[in-house]
């Protein structure tokens, strides 16, 4: 957990890398007027870690970032950087650097003046500041751009200047607010790798806010998934994907179909068999779920498209009819409308839930009646509930 460290708020010395410090939210509560935005969130970000706060808009992730930066005041709880309470410090004294979504570069200053702003504010020697600016611009590969005006830069270059500016004063923590959302998709992928490389190179503890799962997965070493002011799950990308803690996590992270079912039997560990409600006579599915689930209980089965396969040649499985196909090149995603009971299969009146199945790109072009089968290996997650809706 949090490492006890007593680093100065304004470290001196002239190295690119900073040794990371921990960041802790301790039962943080924040409301705007009557709207509760954060309802007692606790979270520890490890020193040097890149932590991604992921969630839909309005989930409270940006508020967490702004609380940490000092732009908002928390109503209750504690905020610690390197085990030092910072909730009462003004933004200028928290030792936090921020990359804003809009970059917030000062348009009347040159690239070098922007990067030097935080250094000049601290009143260090001019020579040292110049050296640091050069070092930072080199880090973001913008050497030679010192005298350019901000308006002369491309979006990607502006983003890198903003990063250099945030890092120049050697903050203890770096905050990234939707850092890639202002870039066009083609540039985003390239910049993402670049950003991760730069941040890792500095070794600084980084908190990133994004609503895009792909961005969180690629940049974040660990991810905190927020929903309605609370943390649904904290973990690595693979953990969130394979072992979601809630139906919300399962549906927000990656694609999944939700099918209502009933627990038939519990096995060892977290394994259990579930009978799908729409086709009770079909072979039960092997699933994973909370140990609290008992036989006979109503559950939602959240199944990933790649955990299923599709066949138009008959055989056992869930009967249905292909409704739509989405071809992405490497894969073909089929939306299959399941028959409400097995006896309905093939007669065209199928009206059960829809389910999404991923097939290799080579299997494109299937249509008509089909059966859907569970692939061995990755059992779907089940959660207590009695949903009748599907969410492909």
Partner 1 sequence: MPWLVLAFLVWLVGYPLLVVAAEAFGIGSPGGGGPTTEAFRSFFTRADEWNAMWRTLWISVLSTLAAAAIGVPLGFLFERNEIPGRRLLGALVALPVALPPLVGVIAFLFLYGESGLAARGLQTLGLDVSWRLTGAWAILLVHAYSMYVYFYLFTRAGLSGQDGAAIEAAQSLGASRRQILFRVTLPRLRPALAGATLLTFMTSLGSFSAPYIFGGGFRVMTTQIVASKLNGELRMAYVETTMLALLAFASLLLLRRIDPGLDLASGARGTPPARRRLRSRGARVAAAAGGWVLAGVLLLPHATLILMSLVPPNTWTVEAFPPVLGLVNYGELLSSTERLRPALNSIWMAAAATLAAVVVGVMAARLSLRRGGLPGRALEAMMTLPWAIPGTVFALALAAAMSVNAPWVGRFVLVGTLWILPLAYLVRSLPLTGRSIFAGLRQLDPRLEEAAASLGAGPLRTVLRIVLPLLRPAVIAGAGLAFITMLGDFVTSIVLYTYDTRPISIEIQSSLRIQETGIAAAYGVLLMLLSAAAFIAWDDRAGGRL
Tokens of 251: 């549906």
Cβ neighbour number for residue 27 with a 10 Å cutoff:
13
- DSSP annotation string for 38-103: EEEEEEEEPTT-EEEEE--TTSSHHHHHHHHHTSS--SEEEEEETTEE-TTS-GGGTTEEEE-TT-
- When binding is defined by CB under 8 A, the residue of 56, 91, 144, 385 that contacts partner 1 is 91
Least gap, CB of 32 to partner 1 (angstroms): 13
- Per the CB < 8 A criterion, the answer to whether 75 and 264 are in contact is no
Least gap, CB of 119 to partner 1 (angstroms): 9
Least gap, CB of 123 to partner 1 (angstroms): 10
Is 70 one of the binding residues for partner 1 (CB under 8 A)? yes
What order of strands is seen across the sheet that includes strand 354-360? 308-311, 369-374, 318-327, 331-338, 354-360
- When binding is defined by CB under 8 A, the residue of 3, 15, 17, 71 that contacts partner 1 is 71
Burial class, 382, CB count within 10 angstroms (exposed 0-12 / middle 13-18 / buried 19+) = buried
Q: Which is nearer to partner 1, 152 or 214 (CB)?
A: 152
Distance of CA 150 to the CA centre of its chain: 30
- When binding is defined by CB under 8 A, the residue of 100, 196, 273, 283 that contacts partner 1 is 100
Is 69 one of the binding residues for partner 1 (CB under 8 A)? yes
Tokens of 23: 């960041």
Is 165 one of the binding residues for partner 1 (CB under 8 A)? yes
Rg (CA), the chain: 25
Stretch that binds partner 1, among 84-92, 255-263, 339-347, 370-378 (CB under 8 A): 84-92
- When binding is defined by CB under 8 A, the residue of 97, 289, 305, 380 that contacts partner 1 is 97
Is 98 one of the binding residues for partner 1 (CB under 8 A)? yes
- When binding is defined by CB under 8 A, the residue of 18, 52, 96, 339 that contacts partner 1 is 96
- Stated as kind and residue range, the H or E segment containing 20 is none
Is 102 one of the binding residues for partner 1 (CB under 8 A)? yes
Instruction: Name the site residues for partner 1 (rule: CB under 8 A).
Output: 10, 69-71, 90-94, 96-98, 100-102, 104-108, 117-118, 121-122, 165-166, 169
């Amino acid at each position: 957990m949090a490492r006890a460290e007593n680093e100065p708020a304004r470290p001196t010395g002239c190295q690119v890398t900073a040794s990371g410090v921990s960041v802790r939210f301790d039962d943080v509560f924040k409301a705007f007027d009557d709207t509760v935005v954060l309802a007692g969130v606790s979270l520890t970000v490890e020193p040097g870690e890149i932590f991604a706060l992921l969630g839909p808009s309005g989930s409270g992730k940006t508020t967490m970032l702004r609380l940490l930066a000092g732009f908002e005041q928390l109503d209750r709880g504690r905020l610690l950087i390197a085990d030092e309470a910072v909730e009462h410090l003004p933004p200028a004294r928290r030792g936090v650097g921020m990359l804003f979504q809009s970059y917030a570069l000062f348009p009347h200053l040159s690239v070098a003046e922007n990067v030097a702003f935080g250094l000049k504010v601290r009143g260090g020697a001019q020579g040292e500041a110049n050296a640091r600016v050069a070092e930072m611009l080199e880090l973001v590969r913008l050497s030679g751009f010192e005298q350019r005006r901000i308006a002369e830069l491309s979006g990607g270059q502006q983003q890198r200047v903003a990063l250099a500016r945030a890092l120049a004063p050697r903050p203890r923590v770096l905050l990234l607010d939707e850092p890639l959302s202002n870039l066009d998709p083609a540039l985003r992928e390239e910049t993402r790798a670049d950003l991760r490389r730069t941040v890792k190179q500095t070794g600084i503890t980084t908190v990133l806010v994004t609503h895009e799962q792909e961005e969180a997965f690629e940049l974040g070493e660990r991810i905190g998934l927020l929903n309605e002011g609370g943390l649904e799950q904290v973990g690595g990308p693979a953990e969130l994907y394979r072992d979601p803690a809630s139906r919300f996590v399962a549906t927000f992270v990656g694609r999944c179909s939700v099918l209502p079912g009933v627990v038939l039997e519990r096995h060892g560990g977290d394994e259990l068999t579930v009978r799908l409600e729409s086709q009770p006579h079909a072979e039960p599915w092997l699933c994973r779920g909370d140990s609290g689930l008992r036989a006979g209980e109503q559950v939602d089965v959240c199944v990933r498209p790649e955990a299923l396969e599709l066949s138009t040649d008959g055989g056992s499985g869930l009967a249905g009819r292909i409704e739509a196909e989405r071809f992405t090149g490497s894969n073909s995603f089929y939306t299959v409308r399941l028959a409400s009971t097995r006896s309905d299969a093939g007669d065209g009146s199928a009206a059960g839930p829809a389910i999404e199945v991923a097939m290799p790109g080579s299997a494109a072009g299937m249509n008509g009646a089909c059966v859907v089968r569970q692939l061995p290996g990755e059992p779907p997650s089940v959660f207590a509930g009695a949903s009748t809706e599907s969410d492909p």
